[in-house]
Amino acid sequence: MWEELALGLELMGRRFLWVVWSDLTETAHMAFLKGFEERVVGKERMAGWLPQ
């Protein structure tokens, strides 16, 4: 599920903001997210929490 969302954001080629919950970063998905962040550097802003 998270991989598909990340791939869609990457393929879109536009800037984005993605709030990544802490339980996601504490799982095996962390390695995937690190590679994802490297591929979209400069287009992304990822955060663990943002005020509404």
pTM of the entire structure? 0.65
Q: Is residue 28 part of a domain?
A: yes
pLDDT in tens, 4-39: 888 899 999 899 888 877 665 555 566 677 788 888
Q: Is residue 41 part of a domain?
A: yes
Q: Is residue 10 part of a domain?
A: yes
- Name the residue range of residue 13's domain: 2-47
For the chain, what is the domain count? 1
- Token pair of 10, please? 């990457």
Q: Is residue 37 part of a domain?
A: yes
41 in helix, strand or coil?
Answer: coil
pLDDT at 23: 62
Q: Is residue 52 part of a domain?
A: no
Cβ atoms 14, 40 nearer than 8 A: no
